[in-house]
Amino acid sequence: MKVTREVKTAILVLGSILIFIWGYSYLRGKDLFNSYKTFYVVYDNVEGLPPSAPVTLNGVTVGKVNDIQFKDAVKGLVQVELLIKTDFPISKTSVATLYEPGLGLSGKQIAIVPDMKNATLAEDGDFLSPNLAPGMFAQVGDKLGPLQTKVESTVTSADSLLQRFNSILDVQTQQNLRIAIAELSSTMKEFNHAAHTLDGMLAGNKNHIDATLTNLDKTSTNLVKISDSINQANLGEAVKKLEKSLANVDNILSDVEAGKGTLGKLMKDEAMYNNLNGASKELKELLADVKENPKRYIHLSVFGRKATPYKAPAEEEEKAKNEEVKK
């Protein structure tokens, strides 16, 4: 069968028309050979949502914005048409959130937040619930608002403080402050000079200081050894013996106080005291008599002669006779 030129021309024209329609749809973001589901969302304000903006689900791009138009001119509502292609189940109560990714350089996007608790799936042409997430700049603006207020309040307080400070710093105060700073500078110079002098003294006596520290180290070592020796000594037993000795001394003193023993009787017995006192007096008189009359008690014979009998003086004989008469 011979195909005429007219048929070929018709086929070519129809093919060109189909290719044009497919290319036009593809350029608008709609692929005629893929099956999409169409969902709608109504917003109060799309905040510059661009056409063909991506639609994501859990961070995965599952579609794009196909059309944006006013739904109600009186209320200013905007209807957004979404083309979605995914096998993920999207319920009727899922939410389409309009948000600003990153720094907002790529414009607004829409993220579908599925409601996993609802098992009823959304069908082609259903409306999803709208939601608007504030962008980064909006959040920063919300945070900077109170901070700006605080900064303004701080600047106002600082300005008031500076004004009061300026009112305090009159001419006399400024002069006094200059004098104080000059004196402080002089003091620091003297302190620096003293520090250098002290450094020189320490450098000159470094050997003495080292020797002193060495001796101190040896002394501390000896003290440690003495402490160890004392620790090793049986101090407990020595303390017990000392306590026992003190107890014996206390018992002796108690016996003396009670008049027991020779020392106790000597201190408490008055008759023994009188006897000792009398004996001491007689001994004293005896020694005096021996000193005055040694011939009465000591007889010396150089050549073997008999000792001359002792003759008492007349006074002593008279005294003896008087005593015999009295008797």
- Other beta carbons less than 10 A from residue 269's beta carbon: 14
Question: Model-level pTM?
Answer: 0.38
The domain locations on the chain are 1-34, 35-133, 235-298
Lowest mean pLDDT among 75-79, 173-177, 301-305: 301-305
Closest CA to 83 of 48, 132, 35, 119: 35
283-300 mean pLDDT: 75
DSSP letter for 48, please. Answer: S
More confident residue, 327 or 235: 235
On the question of pLDDT at 39 being above 90, the answer is: yes
On the question of pLDDT at 312 being above 60, the answer is: no
Lowest mean pLDDT among 236-240, 280-284, 309-313: 309-313
How buried is 81 (Cβ within 10 angstroms: 0-12 exposed, 13-18 middle, 19+ buried)?
middle
What would the DSSP string read from start to end of 59-113? TEEEEEEEEEEEEETTTTEEEEEEEE--SS--BTT-EEEEE--TTSTT--EEEEE
pLDDT for 314: 57
The whole-angstrom separation of Cα 12 and Cα 18 is 10
The whole-angstrom separation of Cα 267 and Cα 257 is 8
Write the CB contacts of 320 (distance below 8 Å, at least 6 apart in sequence): 312
* pLDDT band (50, 70, 90) for residue 235: low
307-315 mean pLDDT: 54
236-241 mean pLDDT: 77
What are residue 93's phi and psi, to 5 degrees? Answer: -95, 15
- Other beta carbons less than 10 A from residue 53's beta carbon: 21
More confident residue, 299 or 232: 232
* pLDDT band (50, 70, 90) for residue 142: low
On the question of pLDDT at 95 being above 90, the answer is: yes
On the question of pLDDT at 216 being above 80, the answer is: yes
The whole-angstrom separation of Cα 190 and Cα 187 is 5
pLDDT for 127: 93
Residues 55/64, Cβ–Cβ less than 8 Å: yes
pLDDT, averaged across the chain: 78
List pLDDT tens digits, range 171-206: 777 788 888 888 898 899 888 888 888 888 888 788
* pLDDT band (50, 70, 90) for residue 324: low
Lowest mean pLDDT among 78-87, 225-234, 280-289: 225-234
The whole-angstrom separation of Cα 21 and Cα 143 is 50
Averaging pLDDT over each range in 93-107, 117-131, 197-211, which range is the top one? Answer: 117-131
